Amino acid sequence: MNLQLLSQMILAERVDRNHASWNNIAGELKNSLAGAGGEARVLALLKRELDLEPAPLFFTDLSFPNKEGFSQVDLLLLHPNFVCVLEVKNMRGDFYFNSENFQFHRIVDGRVEGMRNPEWQLHRAMKAAEKYLGVPVSGAIVLANRSGRVVEGPKIHPVLSLDYLPFHIESLVYKTNAFDVEGLAARLRDLPKGSFPNNLLERHQLSIDSLRLGVTCPNCRTVALERKNRKWHCAKCGGFFQDAHEVTLQEYAVLFGRELPTRFAYQLLRVEDKYLLYRLLEKSALQGNERGKRWIVPRVELLEAYFSSIYR
Interval 162-201: pLDDT, tens: 999 999 999 998 766 788 999 999 999 988 766 667 778 8
User: What integer pLDDT is reported at residue 187 of this predicted model?
Assistant: 93
- In the predicted model, residues of the chain with pLDDT beneath 70 are 68, 175-176, 193-196
Tell me how crowded residue 125 is: count the other CB atoms within 10 A of its CB: 23
68 and 175 together in one domain? yes
Tell me, yes or no, whether 93 and 132 share the same domain.
yes
Confidence (pLDDT) at 98: 84
Residue 205 covered by a domain: no
Last residue of a domain, one of 133, 164, 197: 197
Report if residue 75 sits inside a domain: yes
Residue among 58, 65, 64, 10 nearest 32 (CA) = 10
Is pTM beyond 0.75? Reply is: yes
Tell me, yes or no, whether 203 lies in a domain: no
Find the helix or strand (DSSP H, E) in which 121 lies.
Answer: helix 118-133
In a domain, 208, yes or no: no
- Do 161 and 233 share a domain, yes or no? no
Question: Structurally, how many domains does the chain consist of?
Answer: 2
Residues 63 and 149 in one domain: yes
Q: At what angle do helices 196-203 and 3-14 cross, to 10 degrees?
A: 40
- Kindly state whether residues 87 and 173 are assigned to the same domain: yes
Q: Domain residues for 295?
A: 213-308
Same domain, 42 and 172: yes
Whether residue 273 sits in one domain with residue 159: no
**219 and 102 within one domain:** no
Predicted pLDDT at 175: 67
Closest to 79 in 3D by CA, of 165, 160, 177: 177
pLDDT tens readout for residues 18-38: 999 999 999 999 988 988 889
In this structure, is residue 204 part of a structural domain? no
